[in-house]
Amino acid sequence: MTPSNEGALLEDMTNQDHGERGYLGSAFRVAVDFVHQRGCTALVKQRVSATTAELIDKPPFPFAWMPAAAMDELQSALSTVGGREACVDLGVTAGRKLGGSVIQPVLKMATALFGNTPATVFQNLERFYSMVLKGMTFEYEAVGPKEGLIRARVEGANVPAALFDVTRGNLSYVFELCGVNGTVSAPEDIRCDSAGGQARYKVQWA
């Protein structure tokens, strides 16, 4: 397969319209496993709806798409009982597990085509996110050879602030993926309202 054909295949694999904001079941399963491992399942379930509590007990099929509401509630509850860093840790864990399974074929193809550097991965975040999450977009602006700004935007109302801490963890995993040391700032300029949500991150690496 030629590079141009590989690029076209990558576009087809990642640029799919899944409708309203939501998650792949495998992403929710990773979050549920994380909550179990942290030993805070009971506390989290006390802070979510009955529907979400039932999904925590019986997670959806890994490759079924689900509305974002349950994940939103879980992440918000985790932030309440475990603090914002718990959400960052969830994001790193999700990056490792999904990056090594569901997203792995696209990651390998993209890094082969565009290079295995943080800058090229950050420039193509939507290619990876769209495999497990719909309704979230990214813009990367380089401000130096090894630093930049990432703007994340989320569609729809009721976007939880906790999502941006989880995203910080996701972004931190990029450095691990590329084998370099780097940092992602805490989300700045967070806005969550009826129109959606957005935040900005500063990233830099050695």
% pLDDT > 70, the chain:
88
Number of folded domains that form the chain: 1
pLDDT above 50 for 10: no
Torsion of CA 160, 161, 162, 164, to 10 degrees: 110
pTM of the model as a whole: 0.88
Question: Residue 8 — very low, low, confident or very high, per pLDDT cuts 50/70/90?
Answer: very low
Q: Please answer whether residues 205 and 181 qualify as being in contact, where contact means their C-beta atoms are separated by less than 8 angstroms.
A: yes
Q: Cα angle at 83 between 80 and 89, to 5 degrees?
A: 120
Report the CATH number at residue 16.
3.90.1520.10
Domain of residue 169 covers 3-205
Q: Calculate the CA dihedral of residues 102, 105, 109, 111 and round it to 10 degrees.
A: 50
Q: What is the pLDDT of residue 116?
A: 84
Q: How would you label 76-92 residue by residue, b for 16+ Cβ within 10 Å and e otherwise?
A: bbbbbbbebebbbbbbb
Those residues with Cβ within 8 angstroms of residue 32's Cβ, 6 or more apart along the chain or in another chain: 55, 56, 59, 74
Classified as helix, coil or strand, 74 is helix
User: For the residues of 27-48, what is the DSSP string, one character each?
Assistant: HHHHHHHHHHHHT-HHHHHHTS
Do 167 and 187 touch, CB atoms closer than 8 A? yes
Q: How confident is the model at residue 205 (pLDDT cuts 50, 70, 90)?
A: very high
pLDDT for the residue numbered 19: 54
Mean pLDDT of the chain: 89
CA angle 12, 14, 17 (to 5 degrees): 90
Tell me the per-residue pLDDT of 115-164, one tens digit each, with 9 for 90 and over.
Answer: 789 998 999 898 889 889 999 999 999 999 999 999 999 999 999 999 99
> What distance in Å separates the CA atoms of residue 15 and residue 180, rounded to the nearest whole number?
28
- Residue count of the chain: 206
pLDDT of 12 over the 80 cut: no
What average pLDDT does this structure show over 31-43? 98
Buried b (16+ CB within 10 A) or exposed e, 124-136: bbebbbbbbbbbb
Say what angle helices 69-82 and 25-38 make with each other, to 10 degrees.
Answer: 20
pLDDT in tens, 55-95: 999 999 999 999 999 999 999 999 999 999 999 999 999 99
**Residue 7: its pLDDT value, please?**
40
Dihedral sign for Cα atoms in the order 71, 76, 82, 83? positive
